[in-house]
Structure 1
Amino acid sequence: MRELVYYVAVSLDGYIAGPDGQFDGFLGEGDHMRSLTERFGDAIPTDIATALDIPQPGTMFDTVLMGWNTYAVGLDAGVASPYRHLRQVVFSRTRTTADIPGDTDGITLTSENPVDVVRRLKSEPGSAIWLCGGGSLASALGEEIDRLALKRNPVLFGAGIPLFEPGAYAPRDLDEVGTTVFESGVVFSEYVHTERRS
């Protein structure tokens, strides 16, 4: 069965974005970039990967899940389909395709229960499913997340969008399955739910 992987940058105080939704405090340069890009090239926006000649074979991820606010970051930059190399699923209870300027090809906008969508996707063949964000969507899908892949950055935001909303779901035991400390100060760690570890 396919894994749902929450692969995300996070501050030391547990935020995936700052108070105004900004994420420019995360390190975009350093020795962590090459290592993570080689493994997670599928998680780079299509236009950026093309410009940097980064392969996107779809072997790590073939589907990306986003809440509307995460998706809208690309819209603000004039990009309606940020991950054209992946199947893109955007969750919103209030938005419609009329809110997307430009080509919506490759975008599935849905108000369906995220858990139902993920369970259906997991039953299909394919690579892992990338939970891109944000915090509310991650909280709704907490019980379905199979793997946390966290890029902990040496920065404190003080407030913002949390990795998970407090009290969003019942506590679960996690097993650390790997940690790499980079000279840049980024620490990359992966965790899986204890009961799901093979």
Structure 2
Amino acid sequence: MRKLIYYVATTLDGFIAAEDGTFDGFVFEGDHMQALTEEYPETLPVQFREMVGITDAPNRHFDTVLMGRNTYQVPGGLPSPYAHLRQYVISSTITGTPDDVEVISTNPLEKVRELKQEDGADIWLCGGGRLAAELLPEIDGLLLKLHPVVFGAGIGLFDGKVDTSRFQLTDVRRFDSGVAFMTYAKS
């Protein structure tokens, strides 16, 4: 069975974006970027893949991406940011997306359960915090790109009321940039 993996950058104080939804404070230079490009090429938007010359890189971990409306509509974003994946946006207000971006307007938990029953690679939960809180019962693992910054306020990793859930740390990778990849499996 496929797994739902919440793969996201976070600050030391647990924010995935600033209060206005931007993420300029994250570290975008350093040795961790090479690891992202080589190991998780499918998690890079089309625009970045073109810029670094990896448009034909195979999907190594994920074949499907889920994102909330704010993540999908990030300023300067693309109408089809992950054209190399099946793309789903969870929103009750979005209309007029490209053909390769499907909008789920009701019951995202049910849709995730359906997707997990299909054959294929894992499902990437790209963001945002409110969606992660809603989908927490179905999240099988976390891959947190922990950045050595503090925002003080912003959009939380799980932005909303959630039931207590335990995860077990299964791997840590540290980079000279100060970023650490923290991998957790649901206990």
TM range (shorter): over 0.9
CA RMSD of aligned residues (A): 1.3
Query: Does the CA contact (< 8 Å) of 1:56 and 1:85 recur in 2?
Result: no
Deviation at 1:175, TM superposition (A): 1.0
Deviation of 1:79 after TM superposition, in Å, equals: 1.9
CA distance in 1, matches of 2:4, 2:59: 15
Match of 2:25 in 1: 25
Q: Distance in 1 between matches of 2:172 and 2:77?
A: 36
1:157 is aligned to 151
> Matched residues in 1 for 2:116 and 2:8: separation?
20
Q: Counterpart in 1 of 2:79?
A: 80
Give runs of ≥4 in structure 1 deviating > 4 Å. Answer: none
What residue is the counterpart of 1:189 in the other structure?
182
What is the TM-score normalised by the length of structure 1? 0.90
Partner of 2:59: 58
Q: Which runs of 5+ in 1 are unaligned?
A: none
1:62 counterpart SS class: strand
- 8 Å CA contact 2:129–2:156 kept in 1: the answer is yes
How far did 1:51 drift? 2.3
Amino acid at match of 2:80: S
Task: State the identity as a percent.
Answer: 50
Alignment match, 2:92: 93
Q: Distance in 2 between matches of 1:41 and 1:184?
A: 19
Q: Give the TM-score normalised by structure 2.
A: 0.95
Verify: 1:110 aligned to 2:84, yes or no. no
- C-alpha contact 1:149 1:189 (8 A) present in aligned 2: yes
Q: Which moved more, 1:45-54 or 1:19-28?
A: 45-54
> How far, CA to CA, are the matches of 2:4 and 2:142 in structure 1?
9
What one-letter code is carried by the residue in structure 1 that aligns with 2:3? Answer: E
User: Using the alignment, how far apart are the partners of 2:130 and 2:57 within structure 1?
Assistant: 27
Equivalent AA in structure 2 for residue 58 of structure 1: N
Do 2:40 and 2:60's aligned partners in 1 also have CA atoms closer than 8 Å?
Answer: no
**The residue matched to 2:173 in structure 1 has which SS?**
strand
Distance 1:4 1:78 in 2: 24
- Compared CA separation, residues 77 and 164, structure 1 to 2 (3 A): same
Query: Distance in 2 between the 1:47 and 1:93 partners?
Result: 27
The amino acid that maps onto 2:60 is: T
Tell me the amino acid that sits aligned with residue 128 of structure 1.
Answer: D
